[in-house]
Structure 1
Amino acid sequence: MARKTGSHSEITGPRIRDAALRLFARHGFAAVSMRQIAAEVGVQAGALYLYTADKQALLFDLMQDHMTNLLAALASLPPTDSPAAALDQFARFHIGYHLDRPEAVFIAYMELRNLSPENFATIESLRRQYEDRLQAILLSGVQSGAFTLPDPKMATLALIAMLTGVTNWYREGGRLSRGDVQTLYAEMALRAVGRPQA
């Protein structure tokens, strides 16, 4: 992303990105213009191009930041002592991280179709890295006899879809706390991989 140098760049750049995130999530990438983003920030439309090449670059930067931050947060988790503990940890982490970022999650999944082929390939590579971390947990569980799965790759995609789906319905202050949801979904994930009953 092209970034303006000077004392205001550290303020205006993030404001543009925040505005784009909100508007893309609310209206969809295709329906939002650079003029709308500028109006949200309170600058002239032409000023946006001091901070970004175009709307496509804005979308790509938002999605890339989301994925790289997600991977970094996952990598910082403490080690676990079993595949079951690792899957429990992954499920709780995934739900907690994504519930804190519903707009970024919506864009990351719904706006892939609007990326250029080159940008799509970059984001898909980052997504595969995340999926690979979960798949490694499942393969470890199968190899140790802790899990029974006919297709760990398919199970990986199914579990991520299930865990991400929480962002579609969960609201703070509802019947279940965030911790309750994390516990219930972690238990469902363990059951889904055929963890032997104690």
Structure 2
Amino acid sequence: MVRTAGSDGVKTLQAIRKAGVKRIYKHGFEAMKLRSLAEDVGIQAGSLYNYIRNKEEFLFLLLKEVLEELLEGLERELAGIDDPKEALIRFINFHLRWHTARKEEVFIGNMELRSLSKQHLQEIIRMRTEYESRLRRILERGNEAGEWSVADPQVISYSIIASLTGVCNWYSPRGRLSQDEIIAIYTDHVLGAVGAR
């Protein structure tokens, strides 16, 4: 986002981002008014333009930052892991923990792509494809190592990600199962689905 200098600027930018996520999640991007967002943060509406150029750019930068955090987190999770089965287990664990902790951003990322300009949409799709390709490469390595036999790693990677991300629609920390129990169930399910040894 535009302004980053100074601690007050950084804190205000973080407050704008947090308030924006809540507003978009609750009301949708099209219904979010910049004036209302400024009121949530306690600044003048005109002051928003010190931080963002326009509403669409705000959405793009929000989604871009979320995907950057996601990709960096996955990179750390998989660093130094050569065994494809262990990499798949770590991918499942990371994906479920990250997505259940960031349900609002995940919802926005899935529902508001239509509100992006063509150029911004292409950039977000490129980043999402980069994330999906990490899983596809794990599946391909597992095929090569004889850990499993997946006929179409790209299609199966889409299927796995859709299944794992779907947890966001119903997961509650106060629910019947703990996060660890849910991760164990999904890990068994995915390993069984790919035919892991």
Supply the AA of the counterpart residue of 2:100. L
Question: Scaled by the length of structure 2, what TM-score is found?
Answer: 0.95
Cα 1:7–1:127 shift into 2, 3 Å? closer
Structure 2 residue aligned with 1:176: 177
Structure 2 residue aligned with 1:162: 163
Work out whether 1:132 is the aligned partner of 2:117: no
Calculate percent identity across the aligned residue pairs.
40
DSSP-derived class of the 2:74 partner: helix
The CA deviation at 1:79 is 3.0
Give the stretch that moved more between structures: 109-118 or 8-17: 8-17
Tell me how far apart the structure 2 counterparts of residues 51 and 59 of structure 1 sit (CA, whole Å): 13
Structure 1 residue aligned with 2:22: 22
Supply the AA of the counterpart residue of 2:36. Q
Tell me how far apart the structure 2 counterparts of residues 187 and 82 of structure 1 sit (CA, whole Å): 17
The CA deviation at 1:7 is 5.3
Aligned ranges 1:2-151 → 2 under 5 Å: 2-3=2-3, 5-6=5-6, 8-77=8-77, 78-151=79-152
The CA deviation at 1:6 is 4.9
Give yes or no for contact 1:88–1:187 (8 Å, CA) kept in 2.
no
The CA deviation at 1:99 is 1.0
Give the stretch that moved more between structures: 62-71 or 137-146: 137-146
Tell me how far apart the structure 1 counterparts of residues 138 and 5 of structure 2 sit (CA, whole Å): 44
Give yes or no for contact 1:135–1:152 (8 Å, CA) kept in 2.
yes
Q: Structure 2, unaligned stretches of length 5 or more?
A: none
Tell me how far apart the structure 1 counterparts of residues 161 and 99 of structure 2 sit (CA, whole Å): 11
Tell me how far apart the structure 1 counterparts of residues 7 and 88 of structure 2 sit (CA, whole Å): 45
Supply the AA of the counterpart residue of 1:40. D
Question: Scaled by the length of structure 1, what TM-score is found?
Answer: 0.94
Tell me how far apart the structure 2 counterparts of residues 84 and 6 of structure 1 sit (CA, whole Å): 45
Q: Structure 1, unaligned stretches of length 5 or more?
A: none
Could you give the per-residue CA deviations for residues 138-192 of structure 1, whole angstroms, max 9, x where no partner exists?
0011122211211111000010000011111010121110001111111111111
Cα 1:187–1:57 shift into 2, 3 Å? same
Tell me how far apart the structure 1 counterparts of residues 156 and 141 of structure 2 sit (CA, whole Å): 13
What is the RMSD of the two structures over their aligned residues, measured on CA atoms?
A: 1.3
Give yes or no for contact 1:149–1:193 (8 Å, CA) kept in 2.
yes
DSSP-derived class of the 1:195 partner: coil
Count how many residue pairs are aligned between Structure 1 and Structure 2: 196
DSSP-derived class of the 2:30 partner: helix
The CA deviation at 1:113 is 1.0
The CA deviation at 1:80 is 2.9
Cα 1:7–1:86 shift into 2, 3 Å? closer
The CA deviation at 1:81 is 4.6
